[in-house]
């Protein structure tokens, strides 16, 4: 230790000095237990699927190339196989190590100086000192609190990434399933047109029909073939993306996806209740809250920066006799008074607070938009499925009967066929969009578990259920 001043003090003063130093550091409890995997499981509903993998490579039993893949299994595999989520869980362990490190007292520094005698026969000169850095001692409670807040923010970040995984998987699963339904609907219309072509050709051969009827129907067949090719290409792209998400990018992705189940109507449209839940449950907001708390502690500690390099301890010196006493090394604030460091810490804190405000506004906007979209699409799907599509099917059947009896031309039948096909494809498209909007609402409010809680509360507070 440099520039140590020695003073002779009674030996009883040394233990007193050590006690005062340790007492000045304050009481610090153990680091909090993060339980990141449990938090991820609670937010996604996959309590038995989330594990931290200690190896760098994620391995799991591969799905059969042509087996069944349910939505729940796709979500489970994606969460388990997400390398980004594993990175977040590793960062939780980094933050936990930092929290434990912040609680440790600094190692004492032993200094030993031996000076050769200047003249023969002169006594040896020996200096022995034990010291500890003051700043780590004085800031230990504050650094521990800051590290704890950072640890909790890391857990919230992991939960946020897990919810993102669920959101992306559900969206891609819905897209892949929608293309299956598109292709099925178009192939059904193609088969029907094939039968109509046969009828038109027979009528032409018998002299009752016209060449234009056959040509028009075959033109419709060709257009449907192009539709099938386009839908098949887009379906394969969606399935390959899904294979990537579940950790099997080399799979042929020829799974059998589960059939679409009609979405249950939203329990209620109380926008304020959804917003309140989002502001409380969203993990990205929670992570920013903990980050702000950590930065507040850092801002408080910035004022101690002028003591950086200070040390305190006990030093002994031997010339002819031993002398012992406390030693203190403190920087003299001539050039640096710590103002710049305090200003920087306060600016960083202010930036985080503004970022939190922006994220909170974004959360409110996302909830409102997702809720409005879900309600609108819910109404549109019901009207198209229950009213428009049955009428189109009835009209198509009636016109076909009239055409087959020779009382209508092919143009009327083709138009009815096109309108029915468009209605069927539009229903699939609206159902897919409605499912995506519902998923977006779940994401905006803080995950599937948070959305379920809100719907349960709203269902219990519907006007008909109130006393």
Judge whether 123 and 311 are in contact, CB under 8 Å: no
**What is the tens place of the pLDDT at every residue in 252-265?**
888 889 888 888 88
Name the more confident of 225 and 156: 156
3-state secondary structure of 105: coil
Identify whether the C-beta of residue 129 lies closer than 8 Å to the C-beta of residue 294. Answer: no
* One-character DSSP codes across 209-248: S-HHHHHHHHHHHHHHHHHHHHHHHHHHHHHHHHHHHTT-
In the predicted model, is pLDDT for residue 444 greater than 60? yes
Cα distances from 136 to residues 1, 102, 108, 117, in angstroms, run 16, 9, 11, 38
Give the pLDDT band of residue 370 (cuts 50, 70, 90).
very high
Is residue 55 within 8 A of residue 90, CB to CB? The reply is: no
pLDDT band at residue 61 under the 50/70/90 scheme: low
Decide: pTM greater than 0.95: no
The bridge status of strand 322-329 relative to strand 311-318 is antiparallel
Range scoring the smallest mean pLDDT among 20-29, 74-83, 162-171, 222-231: 20-29
Residues 281 and 43: beta-carbon distance below 8 Å: no
Q: Give residue-wise pLDDT tens across range 205-244.
A: 887 777 887 888 788 888 888 888 898 999 999 999 999 9
CA distance 161 to 154: 11
Q: Is 26 left (phi over 0), alpha (psi -120 to 50) or beta?
A: left
The span from the CA of 430 to the CA of 427, in Å, is: 5
Please spell the DSSP secondary structure of 296-342, one letter per residue: HHHHHHHGGGGGTT-EEEEEEEESSSEEEEEEEE----SS--SHHHH
Spans of all domains in the chain? 71-458
Q: How far is CA 265 from CA 258, 372, 437, 442, 445, in A?
A: 20, 13, 13, 14, 17
Predicted confidence at residue 59, as pLDDT, reads 60
- Check if CATH label 1.10.3720.10 holds for domain 71-458: no
Q: Is 130 helix (H, G, I), strand (E, B) or coil?
A: strand
Check residue 383 and give its pLDDT. Answer: 94
**Other Cβ atoms closer than 10 A to 96:** 21
Q: Quick one: average pLDDT of 386-402?
A: 89
Mean pLDDT, to the nearest integer, of 329-344?
83
Beta strands 311-318 and 68-69, pairing class? unpaired
pLDDT attached to residue 193: 79
User: Residue written as tokens 């072509």?
Assistant: 197
Q: Are 52 and 96 in contact (CB under 8 A)?
A: no
């Amino acid at each position: 230790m440099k520039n140590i001043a020695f003073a002779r003090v009674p030996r009883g003063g040394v233990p007193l000095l050590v006690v005062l130093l340790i007492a000045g550091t304050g009481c610090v409890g153990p680091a909090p237990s993060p339980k990141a995997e449990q938090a991820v499981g609670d937010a996604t509903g996959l309590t038995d699927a989330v594990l931290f993998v200690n190896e760098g490579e994620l391995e799991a039993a591969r799905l059969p190339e042509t087996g069944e893949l349910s939505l729940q299994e796709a979500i489970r595999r994606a969460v388990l196989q997400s390398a980004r989520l594993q990175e977040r869980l590793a960062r939780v362990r980094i933050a936990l190590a930092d929290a434990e490190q912040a609680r440790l007292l600094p190692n004492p520094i032993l200094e030993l100086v031996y000076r050769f005698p200047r003249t023969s026969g002169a006594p040896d000169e020996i200096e022995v000192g034990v010291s500890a850095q003051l700043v780590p001692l004085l800031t230990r409670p504050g650094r521990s609190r800051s590290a704890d807040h950072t640890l909790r923010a890391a857990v919230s970040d992991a939960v946020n990434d897990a919810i993102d995984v669920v959101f992306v998987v559900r969206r891609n699963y819905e897209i892949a399933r929608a293309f299956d339904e598109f292709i099925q609907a178009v192939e059904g219309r193609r088969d029907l047109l094939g039968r109509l072509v046969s009828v038109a050709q027979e009528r032409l051969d018998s002299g009752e029909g016209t060449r234009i009827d056959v040509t028009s129907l075959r033109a419709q067949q060709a257009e449907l073939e192009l539709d099938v090719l386009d839908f098949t290409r887009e379906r394969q792209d969606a399935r390959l993306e899904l294979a990537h998400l579940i950790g099997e990018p080399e799979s042929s992705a020829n799974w059998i996806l589960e059939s679409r189940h009609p979405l249950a109507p939203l329990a209620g449209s109380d926008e304020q209740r959804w917003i309140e839940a989002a502001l409380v449950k969203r993990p990205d907001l929670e992570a920013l809250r903990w980050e702000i708390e950590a930065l507040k502690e850092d801002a408080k500690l910035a004022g101690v920066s002028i003591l950086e390099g200070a040390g305190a301890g006990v030093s002994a010196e031997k010339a002819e006799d031993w002398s012992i006493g406390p030693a203190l090394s403190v920087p003299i604030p001539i050039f640096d008074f710590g103002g710049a460091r305090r200003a920087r810490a306060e600016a960083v804190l202010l930036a985080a607070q503004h970022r939190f405000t922006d994220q909170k506004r974004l959360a409110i906007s996302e909830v409102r938009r997702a809720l409005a979209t879900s309600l609108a699409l819910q109404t549109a799907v019901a009207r198209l499925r229950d009213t428009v599509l049955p009428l189109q099917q009835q009209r198509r059947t009636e016109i076909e009967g009239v055409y087959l009896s020779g009382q209508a031309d092919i143009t009327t039948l083709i138009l009815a066929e096109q309108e029915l096909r468009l209605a069927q494809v539009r229903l699939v498209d609206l159902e897919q969009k409605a499912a995506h909007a519902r998923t977006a609402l779940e994401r905006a409010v803080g995950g599937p578990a948070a959305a379920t809680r809100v719907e349960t509360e709203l269902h219990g507070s519907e006007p008909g259920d109130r006393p």
